[in-house]
Structure 1
């Protein structure tokens, strides 16, 4: 909107004719006509008279009038002050968009970098089995005799049968799959004794990336950061 149009609209809102407004502002009607048609622009003194007579709001005027028109009014102190304030506000907003874009790029790059630390993929896992817990003082192959059935003719048949049945009752077979090869067998210490783990096989498993989740938000933050830079560049 042009300054003259803004001035005319304000006069119309008040229901005044040009002679009425000119009289209240203490200026000639012909001069007011030139102001409304854009043939002339007010001085500091005349502008102040118009503000008093028409109750003009300089802030609203600066927001509504075209930049080219405001340049012609920049010699007026009130207008110049609001122009400087608006320019400072725009620069502050632009800086905030730039800072937000920079922060988003840094965070996005960090997440993508984190996702590259462990990409996952195929890995070999080793399967170990244990028959049960070996009590203190027992031999490491104590569970090896559970499949031996003593002959009834043996003098210690009853004792050997009872021992075998007790071992069968203690059997607690467990299987684990671990990523580290620990030899044909290894011993695990437990509060009640120990377990002997024997290697029984190996297989390839797909291990997911520990930080793979960071890729999507990382790229999203980078795109958002570039968007912040674009907004700061396109702001008037």
Structure 2
């Protein structure tokens, strides 16, 4: 039976959730942040799950309206500060992926503080993908190896990526069926599940149902059973 050791989630639908309720889009992001907490706590108590990687802010999200981007930066800063105790209580190690150099110095500092203070935790690893894009990740990895005097191998490139762990189960909420430049290398043989549920309405019960379905999937990794 399959084990969902590494779960990755594209958290889509915050804005639409808010619009359907005649609320500002930022209210959807606030509601979505609460779901991040519940899903992370659930995963930290699940015996099979070792890593949870969440698509929080992509390299393309800078194209959104300036005020929405500014709100997202403030929300991220506030979320990390508030959740530090939750991480520690649940033995969760925080490991961001992406190029955080584009963020403000204060936000970069918060990210590093939370990462350092949870470094000793040996339970679930939660990664937030921040200013992350898989193409950018792969490009940075290739550029770091361009002066190598030997042929680049799969192992060499994998070790230069922000995320060095293959994804078992990738979930996208919100109804769209695409990867949107998320963990393209790591998801080469991931099982993909798409749900129409908007992220603020996504629950641990629905996640549990998806995991149960995943366990029954026949995974061949390109070979024959």
TM value normalised by structure 1: 0.21
Q: Which has the larger radius of gyration?
A: 1
Q: Kindly indicate which of the two structures has a greater share of residues assigned to helix.
A: 1
TM value normalised by structure 2: 0.22
Greater RCO between the two (CA within 8 Å, min separation 6)? 2
